[in-house]
Amino acid sequence: MKYERYHIPLKSVPGRVGPVPKFVIIRADNCINCGKCEKSCIYGVHKRSEADLRKMADPDNNLCKNCFRCIQDCPQRALTMMVGPDYKALGRGLWTSLRIFTIWSESETGKIPVFGAGYRGLFAGPGYDGMWTDMSEIVRPTRDGIHGREYISTSVDLGSRPAWLEFDKAGALVTDMPPIVELQVPFVIDTTRLRSATDAMKTGMARAAKHVDSLLFAAPDSLSREAASELNAHFVPVYAEGTDLRSIVLPRGARMAALTLGSNWKEDAKRFKSMYPQTVLAFRVNAGKDVEKRVLDLVKAKVDVAHVLFDEEGMELDSVEPRYAKDSLRAIHKALVSKSVRDQITIIAGGGIAAAEHVPKTLICGADVVALEKAAVLALECRDCMTCSMGSCPVNMGDAPAEWIENRVTNLMGAWRDQLLEVLGAMGLREVRRLRGELGRAIFFEDVERESFSDIEGGAGDG
């Protein structure tokens, strides 16, 4: 077998409507159509009008990278630039306009975003923004994850692993090996909680999952018959709470299925294991108070995967005092480790994953795999409107063809994997499995704050 490095092929996939421009250049009436800006812009924002070469066309704002060169070069001082009002109005909460815009660019180009004028802060904030990852090995060029000589693995396993293996006298394995699904990237796509998802979206995303060797979580029967035969291996049916297990038929070729935690979950788990012993079983758990205990219960019931769900903002769902995902996941990880059962269950964390950096941060906090939900839709130029309806979608999501969706989502995952490689390389790690629960690889703002100020009167308390 020929050795081939795992690689996600990427190509430019222009948007169907074009993004909301981040920077808006305004050409005042005193423009004299001299063409200086055309010469000075290296990104091609300024061009003469194709209809009448003697006049300048309106600036193509989407190409602007905020370099100010045209503004300085304009002899008439006719150009003004501002952050686009539509851009400013984008997004809310965790999903800032910058994060949405970045996802758009990543999905279009498949490249790592570069902010020309540098990142000017903030340097700490709530949730994942309160985490700083280790970059101590950033100067080692051989370990450059993308271009370096050393290969950095991003593959992860879904499923329970026995604590030890037993062999008989003849040397044959006697341990009953549980089923395992290997992914090449530590993320999956989950459409079950999206506000709206078309068939084309599901098919396209499933193809993207196949493309990068990952999984698509969706409601059963999401895939059309012809798509199913090709994609079932990368498709995970998610059964709602209260589904009668006796009536379900797993899609042919499915390697994994997900049930939802309900009152009869223990029986369901037992029944499922007896029905499909070679299928990885995941249970979806709403994060909340005592989520650690529920995950421990899942381990006892021999469930392979716990899919822990957070809300869009990355906070616990069922709790009066919701914790951030980073705290909740750390608690789960810690509980599992202290009971020495960490490897008997795989943790998927979903919700509030809004940027590439959130992937390594989630893993550091103890998850094995991250689920992309809203980010995958934003890859399709979604504007994240307050009210979402396919009928009045500003980017006509309903018409998006499956092939385009596949390529956009593949680009997004490729860009995110590259950024994961950069982080791993900067840490000196050669595989992503080693990152799980590596709390020593991150600094938590509240710890630093406490260490620095707790003994100062009026400073931060002792937590």
Residue ranges that bind another protein, judged by CB under 8 A: 11-19, 28, 30, 32-36, 39, 42-44, 48, 53-55, 60, 62-63, 71, 74-80, 104-105, 108-109, 401, 403-404, 407
Measured distance CA(226)–CA(371) in Å, rounded = 26
Q: Closest Cα to residue 101, out of 23, 20, 11, 14? A: 20
Q: How far is the CB of 206 from another protein (least distance, A)?
A: 18
Measured distance CA(14)–CA(160) in Å, rounded = 41
Q: How far is the CB of 391 from another protein (least distance, A)?
A: 20
What is the CB-side half-sphere exposure of residue 327 using CA atoms within 13 A? 16
Closer to another protein by CB, 229 or 396: give it.
396
Phi first, then psi: give them for residue 112, nearest 5 degrees. -70, 130
What type of residue sits at position 233?
A: A
Closer to another protein by CB, 81 or 306: give it.
81
Closer to another protein by CB, 44 or 277: give it.
44
Q: Which residues pair with 313 in a beta bridge?
A: none
DSSP 316: B
Measured distance CA(430)–CA(45) in Å, rounded = 41
Q: How far is the CB of 393 from another protein (least distance, A)?
A: 15
Q: How far is the CB of 35 from another protein (least distance, A)?
A: 5
Closer to another protein by CB, 48 or 434: give it.
48
Measured distance CA(65)–CA(443) in Å, rounded = 32
Q: How far is the CB of 211 from another protein (least distance, A)?
A: 13
Q: How far is the CB of 47 from another protein (least distance, A)?
A: 9
Closer to another protein by CB, 22 or 326: give it.
22
Under a CB-based contact definition with an 8 Å cutoff, are residues 310 and 325 in contact? yes
Closer to another protein by CB, 48 or 334: give it.
48
Under a CB-based contact definition with an 8 Å cutoff, are residues 252 and 220 in contact? no
* Residue found under tokens 């995950």: 295
Closer to another protein by CB, 401 or 459: give it.
401
Structure tokens at 260: 């939802």
Burial class (CB in 10 A: 0-12, 13-18, 19+), 303: buried
Under a CB-based contact definition with an 8 Å cutoff, are residues 30 and 78 in contact? yes
Q: How far is the CB of 49 from another protein (least distance, A)?
A: 10
Q: How far is the CB of 36 from another protein (least distance, A)?
A: 7
H or E, element range at 306: strand 305-309
Closer to another protein by CB, 13 or 185: give it.
13
